[in-house]
Every structure is written in structure tokens, then in C-alpha cells.
Amino acid sequence: MYAVFVLVPILLTILYSFYHWNGVGPMTWVGLKNYVSVFQNPNLIETVFNAFWLVVWFSFIPVGLGLVVASVMHRVATGRFGAIARTVLFLPQVIALVAAGIIWGWLLALPGLINQILEAIGLGAITRAWLGDFDWALPSVGVIGIWILLGFCTVLLSTAMAKIDPALYESARLDGSSWLQEFLAITVPLLRYEIGVCLTVTVINAIAAFDIVYVTTAGGPGNSTAVPGLQIYILAFTQRAVGLASALAVMLMALVIVIILPIQRLNREVSL
């Protein structure tokens, strides 16, 4: 089953990337021309840069915030209250991404709840159609990614913190360490493996993002929120450029591997 639904499609994608093909008619061998076209097309290159920006929003910020939130919860939110807090934070993970995109599309619209709140507190001058603004559309998509992935990072890191020996924290407090010193000297070093897992999952989510972007902005306005996953879909199923879409998909896969392998290597060193 894995070979049929994963390995064979990967091999076929690599094969198609060397052809000019509309998905129906005969294929024409073009060699590396599709890969050259990707590098020569500024719109396609821009999608890669947008993906890197989403890594900041979808990965670094949720992991950093997840560490802080999990540490605070581990310190003060225990028992039933802690369980409720973790459940509430994790809820976005069980909501379908399409539904989440529709909900946030309503919230961030010009007459949406976010702008209504800003107007109510006297910040009406900064209201805008957040997902339709060239400068704010990508950060707005990033905020949605934070909302979705923060719960996953928090729950995973919070579970790992529960396994840390409390005697380490007690010793640090006896030595007069502050919460920040405990966090940097004990919590973060002992959670390196879990942090690596969070980074792996969130980076893949960022680079391969499709659902949220497609539902909220469809890559607009202009090309400001276009990402490789969305561009692959457009090339293959709208423009019928299957070869070019396959080349971009192969490059996206290579990009994910290049970014993820160092994280995985660090995880193996930590586990050893």
C-alpha cells in the first residue's frame, strides 16, 4: 500500500518532470528544461520565498510560543484546569483546515470580527481587508498557521515536561534561579528531542502548505501568498503543464529534505 500510494507517485513525478505533457496527449522529452524554467520564472521563485516566510510563521513562532506556554502551564496550570487548557489549545488540530480557513476568512474580512474589535478599542484607522492586502495577506495567513499549530506544539512539549525530574527544578530554586534561568538551563536542553519533532512537523506544514492558502487567499492578492503547493496545483490542473508542475514538486521535495535532514540528525544525536 505504501509503495502504491507513496513510492510509485514519487517516481512518476520525477519521471514526468523530464517531459512536456498536458496530462492527456503524448509526452515530449525535454530533459532539464522544466527545472530551468522554474528558476527562470520569477513567479515560481517567489512562491519558494513565500514558503520560507511561512516557515517563520508556521514553525519558529508556534514552537517558541509552545515552549513558553507549556512551561507556564507546567508551572501553574495543573490538574483539571491544565487538562482543560491543553484541550482548548489542541482543538484547532481537530478542525478541518478548510473549515478553519473559511472561519478565519470571515474573521479577517473588512466587516469581520477582528476589524470590529479594532474599531471598538479606537484602532479603526488600521482596519483593512487583511487577506486582501498586499503587505498583510501573508502575515495574516501566518497567524492562522500559528493558531492551528500552537496547540500541537504546546501539548507535545507539555507532555515531555511532565517527564522531567522535579528535583532538578527544586535544586535550581534552592540555588536562587529565576523562572527564566530554569527555563533556559533545564527545560530547553532536556526538550531538544521534542523541539526537533515539533520543528520537523511544522516546517513540513509550512513548506507544503496548500489548504489554508487555497481557501483564504487562493495565492492572492497578486502573487503575495502563492506557495509551491498551490502553484503545483495550478500548473497541473489549470494550466495543464504537468511536466513543469512535476519539476516544481520535485524541487519542493528536495527542499523539504534539505531542511529536515539536519533536524533529524540532531534528534538522533540527542537520543543517543
CATH at residue 136: 1.10.3720.10
pLDDT at residue 179, rounded to an integer? 84
- The rounded mean pLDDT for the chain is 90
CB atoms within 10 A of CB 85: 18
Can you read off the three cell numbers belonging to residue 154?
Answer: 504546546
Does the pTM of the predicted model rise above 0.75? yes
From the number of C-beta atoms within 10 Å of its C-beta (0-12, 13-18, 19+), residue 178 rates as: exposed
pLDDT given for residue 213 in this prediction? 94
Q: Which of 255, 139, 250, 266 is nearest to 198 (CA)?
A: 266
Q: Is residue 208 part of a domain?
A: yes
Instruction: Enumerate helices (H) and strands (E) in the chain, giving the number of each.
Output: 16, 2
In the structure grid, which three cell numbers stand for residue 177, read together? 534561579
Check residue 272 and give its pLDDT. Answer: 54
Angle ∠(122,124,126) on CA atoms, nearest 5: 120
What per-residue confidence (pLDDT) applies to 174?
Answer: 87
In a domain, residue 228? The reply is yes
Domain range enclosing 200? 46-235
Determine contact, residues 260/204, Cβ cutoff 8 Å.
yes
CB < 8 Å & 24+ apart, contacts of 111-119: none
State how far the Cα of 74 lies from the Cα of 62, in Å rounded to an integer: 17
Total domains in the fold of the chain:
1
User: What's the confidence (pLDDT) of residue 14?
Assistant: 95
Is residue 136 situated within a structural domain?
A: yes
Residue 2 lies in a domain: no
| CA dist., res. 107 & res. 112, Å (int) | 5
User: Quick one: pLDDT band at residue 27, thresholds 50, 70, 90?
Assistant: very high
Mean pLDDT of 13-41: 93
Mean pLDDT of 46-75: 91
What confidence score (pLDDT) does residue 269 get? 63
Residue 134 lies in a domain: yes
What is the band of 67 on the pLDDT scale with cuts at 50, 70, 90? very high
User: Quick one: pLDDT band at residue 177, thresholds 50, 70, 90?
Assistant: confident
Domain assignment of residue 39, yes or no: no
- Model confidence at 76, pLDDT cuts 50, 70, 90, reads confident
Does a structural domain hold residue 89? Answer: yes
- Kindly indicate the confidence band of residue 77, based on its pLDDT and cuts at 50, 70 and 90: low
The DSSP line for 53-109 is HHHIIIIIHHHHHHHHHHHHHHHH--HHHHHHHHHHHHHHHHS-HHHHHHHHHHHTS
How would residue 247 be classed by pLDDT, with cut points 50, 70 and 90? Answer: very high
Q: What is the mean pLDDT of residues 247-253?
A: 93
Q: What's the confidence (pLDDT) of residue 74?
A: 81
Nearest to 34 by CA among 50, 3, 13, 52: 13
In the three-class reduction of DSSP (H, G, I as helix; E, B as strand; rest coil), residue 20 is classed as strand
Is 248 part of any domain?
no
Identify which has the larger pLDDT, 67 or 87.
67
pLDDT at site 271: 55
Residue 19 pairs in a beta bridge with 29
Q: What is the pLDDT of residue 156?
A: 92
